[in-house]
C-alpha cells in the first residue's frame, strides 16, 4: 500500500468540515490513538466507581448501573443489533428461555444494507429496509437498549454504556466493521473525516446510503469513481452490484456518465462471469472496469484518485476503503493488533475469546474468514446461540458451517438478479477455511430479482417478526 503525502488531503476549510461533521460517530474511523489503552482505563473505571463523588454528574451517571429490570436468569449482553446480534438475541431465548437477554444498539431503528442497492435504483421503498427494534424485542421476548457501548471491564463482567454499566454472565460482541482509511494511504483523522463526508463508502452507516442515493440521482455527468477494496471487505459482491445499479440509474436518467470501477483486486472476486457479462452487455457504454487498481491516495482538491499506476480524475465518487473489525474489540482488550483486520483471537469453532468462554465475537467482526454477509451472520448466530446455551449447561454442540447466500441485482425495471449459496469447510492441508458445496447462479433474470426480495423479506421476518 502506498504512503502518499496526506497533506494533499487537507484543505484549509477542514476545521469547519470537522466541526460540521460532529454528528458522525468517531468510531466510524480507525484512527484511535487512545484505543489501545482503553481496556486498562475501563478496568480502572470500575474501581473508580466507588470513589467518584468528585466527578461531574454526567460522568458519575456512566459509572452507575443502567436502569434495567433485574436479571431473571443468566444475563447475556449482546453488543450490536445488526444481522448477527438480532439473530443471536432471538435464538438465545429459543435455546434457553431462562436466559435474560439484553440487545444493545446505538441506532434507534434498523435499516438493512442487504437489498439497499435495489433501493438506490428505486426498485423498493425505504420501508422495505426499515424495521423496529421494539418489534424484534417484543416478538422474541428480550430487552432492547438503545444506547452506545463505551467500554468494558471483563474482569468484573461489566459493559459500560451511555446509560450506565450492565453486568453480564455472557457477552456477545457483534459490532460489525469500520473503515480502515490508512490502507488507502490516508492516516490523518481530519483527512479521513473529510473523505468520509465528501465520498462515503456506503458500507457502515445508513446515512451514507442516503447521501449516495442523492449523488446518483443528481449527478450531472462526467466521471464517477467507484472502487472495490482489497482484503476481506463487507459483502464481496456488493461493490460490483452497486456499479451495475449506478449504471442503470445513469442510463435511466440519460446522463452522459462514465463509471470508473477501480478494483483493488486482480480480478472480479465473485460471480465473475456474471458481472463481466453485465459490464460488457448491459453497461458497455457506462462501466469501465479496471482490475489491480491499488488505491494509494485521494486528492480532494484536485478530485483525483491515485493508484500505483496512474491518477484518475473524477467529478464525483463513492470511496469504499478496506475494512477492519470494530475498534470496540480493542476497547475490550481482545483485538490482536498484528492481524490485518485487528480481529480477536477466538476459537474458530466455538467463537469464544481464547481464555474467556464468557465472551464471544460474531458477525463481520469475527476472526474466521467467512464472507462478511448478512446471511452468513444470521446462520452463524443461530449456531453460536446454541453453543452458548449448551455452555451454560456444561455441554457442547457439534460445529456446523455458516451458510452464505448472496443475491446481486444486475438490471432494473424489472429487477433482475443472480446469486450464490455456499457453505465452508476447513482444509486440513492448507490449514484454512474454504468454500464447500457452492452453487453459483450467474444467469441473472427476473426470477432472481424476485427471489432477492423474497430472501430479504424472509430474513427480516426471522429477525423481527413471529
Ligand atoms: C450495500 C450492502 C449490500 C449488502 N448486501 C448483502 C446481501 O445481499 N446479502 C448478505 O448476506 N449481506 C449483504 N451485505 C452485508 C451485511 O450487511 C453485513 O454482512 C451484515 O450487516 C453484518 O452483520 P453484523 O451484525 O456483523 O454487523 P452490522 O449489521 O453492521 O451490525 C453491527 C451493529 O453494531 C452496532 N454498534 C457498533 N458499535 C456500537 C456501539 N459502540 N454501541 C452500540 N452499538 C454499536 C451498529 O450500530 C450496528 O447496528 C451488504 C452490505 C452492504 C453495505
What proportion of the chain, given as a percentage, has pLDDT over 70? 89
pLDDT at 54: 78
Greater pLDDT, 59 or 237? 237
pLDDT for the residue 174: 98
Q: Cα(4) to centroid of ligand 1, in Å?
A: 30
Cα–Cα distance measured from residue 94 to residue 101, given in angstroms and rounded to the nearest whole number: 11
pLDDT score of 355: 97
Mean pLDDT, to the nearest integer, of 389-405? 97
- What pLDDT score does 51 carry? 63
- The whole-angstrom separation of Cα 198 and Cα 365 is 26
What integer is the mean pLDDT of 448-458?
98
pLDDT tens digits, residue range 292-304? 999 999 999 999 9
Q: What is the mean pLDDT of residues 267-277?
A: 97
Please say whether the beta carbons of 135 and 460 come within 8 A: no
Q: Which three cell numbers stand for residue 390?
A: 449448551
**Strands, DSSP E only, in 280-431?**
287-290, 295-299, 304-307, 311-313, 316-318, 323-325, 352-353, 356-361, 404-411, 416-427
Say if residues 157 and 282 touch (Cβ distance below 8 Å): no
CA of 15 relative to ligand 1 center, distance in Å: 30
Average pLDDT over residues 382-402: 98
336 alpha carbon to ligand 1 midpoint, in Å? Answer: 21
Q: How confident is the model at residue 50 (pLDDT cuts 50, 70, 90)?
A: low
For residue 364, the ligand 1 atom closest to its alpha carbon is 26
pTM of the model: 0.90
State yes or no: pLDDT of 44 exceeds 50.
no
Average pLDDT for residues 87-97, to the nearest whole number? 98
Q: What is the pLDDT of residues 105-126, one digit of tens each?
A: 999 999 999 999 999 999 999 9
Report, in this order, helix, strand and coil percent for the chain, each rounded to 5: 35, 25, 35
The secondary structure of residue 179, as a DSSP letter, is E
**30 pLDDT higher than 80:** no
Is 273 a residue whose pLDDT tops 60? Answer: yes
* Mean pLDDT along residues 198-211: 98
- Ligand 1 lining (C-beta closer than 6 Å): 27, 80-85, 104-107, 113-114, 116-117, 148-149, 174-176, 202-203, 234-235, 238, 326, 328, 363-364, 372-375, 377, 406-407
Question: Considering the chain, what is the average pLDDT of its residues?
Answer: 90
Nearest residue CA, atom 37 of ligand 1?
175
Residue 331 has pLDDT above 60, yes or no: yes
pLDDT at 13 over 80: no
Res 14: pLDDT: 26
Q: Is it the case that residue 158 has pLDDT exceeding 80? A: yes
**Upper half-sphere CA count for residue 78 (Cβ side, 13 Å):** 32
pLDDT tier, 57 (very low <50, low <70, confident <90, very high otherwise):
confident
Q: Which residues pair with 75 in a beta bridge?
A: 100
Delineate the domains of the chain, giving CATH numbers in brackets: 6-29+188-324 (3.50.50.60), 35-176+326-392 (3.50.50.60)
Contact 206, 243 (CB under 8 A): no
11 conformational bin, left if phi > 0, alpha if psi -120 to 50, beta if neither: beta
- Is pLDDT at 219 greater than 50 in this prediction? yes
CB-count exposure of residue 23 (10 Å: 0-12, 13-18, 19+) = exposed
Amino acid at each position: 500500500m502506498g504512503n502518499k503525502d496526506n497533506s494533499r488531503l487537507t484543505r484549509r476549510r477542514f476545521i469547519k468540515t470537522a466541526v460540521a461533521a460532529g454528528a458522525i460517530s468517531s468510531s466510524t474511523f480507525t484512527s484511535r490513538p487512545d484505543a489501545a489503552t482503553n481496556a486498562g482505563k475501563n478496568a480502572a473505571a470500575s474501581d473508580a466507581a466507588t470513589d467518584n463523588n468528585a466527578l461531574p454528574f454526567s460522568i458519575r451517571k456512566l459509572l452507575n448501573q443502567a436502569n434495567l429490570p433485574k436479571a431473571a436468569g443468566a444475563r447475556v449482553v449482546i453488543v450490536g443489533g445488526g444481522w448477527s446480534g438480532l439473530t443471536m438475541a432471538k435464538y438465545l431465548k429459543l435455546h434457553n428461555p431462562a436466559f435474560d437477554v439484553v440487545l444493545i444498539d446505538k441506532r434507534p431503528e434498523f435499516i438493512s444494507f442487504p437489498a439497499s442497492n435495489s433501493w438506490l435504483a428505486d426498485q423498493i421503498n425505504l420501508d422495505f429496509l426499515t424495521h423496529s427494534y421494539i418489534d424484534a424485542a417484543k416478538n422474541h421476548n428480550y430487552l432492547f437498549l438503545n444506547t452506545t457501548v463505551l467500554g468494558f471491564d471483563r474482569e468484573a463482567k461489566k459493559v459500560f454504556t451511555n446509560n450506565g454499566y450492565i453486568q453480564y454472565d455472557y457477552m456477545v460482541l457483534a459490532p460489525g466493521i469500520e473503515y480502515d482509511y490508512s490502507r488507502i494511504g490516508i492516516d490523518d483523522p481530519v483527512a479521513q473525516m473529510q473523505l468520509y463526508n465528501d465520498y462515503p463508502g456506503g458500507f457502515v452507516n445508513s446515512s451514507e446510503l442516503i447521501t449516495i442515493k442523492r449523488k446518483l440521482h443528481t449527478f450531472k455527468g462526467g466521471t464517477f469513481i467507484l472502487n472495490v477494496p482489497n482484503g476481506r471487505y463487507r459483502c464481496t459482491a456488493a461493490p460490483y452490484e452497486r456499479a451495475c445499479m449506478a449504471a442503470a440509474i445513469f442510463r435511466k436518467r440519460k446522463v452522459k456518465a462514465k463509471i470508473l470501477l477501480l478494483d483493488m483486486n486482480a480480478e472480479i472476486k465473485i460471480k465473475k462471469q456474471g458481472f463481466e457479462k453485465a459490464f460488457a452487455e448491459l453497461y458497455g457504454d457506462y462501466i469501465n472496469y479496471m482490475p489491480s487498481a491499488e488505491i494509494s491516495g485521494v486528492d480532494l482538491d484536485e478530485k483525483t484518485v491515485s493508484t500505483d499506476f496512474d491518477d484518475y480524475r473524477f467529478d464525483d465518487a463513492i470511496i469504499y476503503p478496506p475494512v477492519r473489525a470494530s475498534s470496540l474489540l480493542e476497547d475490550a482488550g481482545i483485538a490482536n493488533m498484528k492481524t490485518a483486520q485487528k480481529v480477536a483471537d477466538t476459537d474458530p469453532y466455538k467463537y469464544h475469546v481464547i481464555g474467556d468462554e464468557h465472551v464471544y465475537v460474531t458477525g463481520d467482526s469475527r476472526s474466521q474468514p467467512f464472507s462478511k454477509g448478512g446471511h452468513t451472520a444470521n446462520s452463524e448466530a443461530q449456531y453460536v446461540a446454541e453453543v452458548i446455551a449448551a455452555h451454560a449447561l456444561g455441554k457442547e454442540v457439534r460445529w456446523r458451517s455458516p451458510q452464505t447466500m448472496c443475491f446481486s441485482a444486475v438490471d432494473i425495471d424489472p429487477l433482475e438478479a443472480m446469486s450464490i449459496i455456499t457453505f465452508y469447510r476447513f482444509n486440513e492441508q492448507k490449514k484454512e477455511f474454504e468454500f464447500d458445496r457452492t452453487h453459483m447462479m450467474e444467469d441473472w433474470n427476473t426470477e432472481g430479482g424476485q427471489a432477492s426480495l423474497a430472501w430479504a423479506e424472509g430474513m427480516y421476518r426471522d429477525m423481527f417478526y413471529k
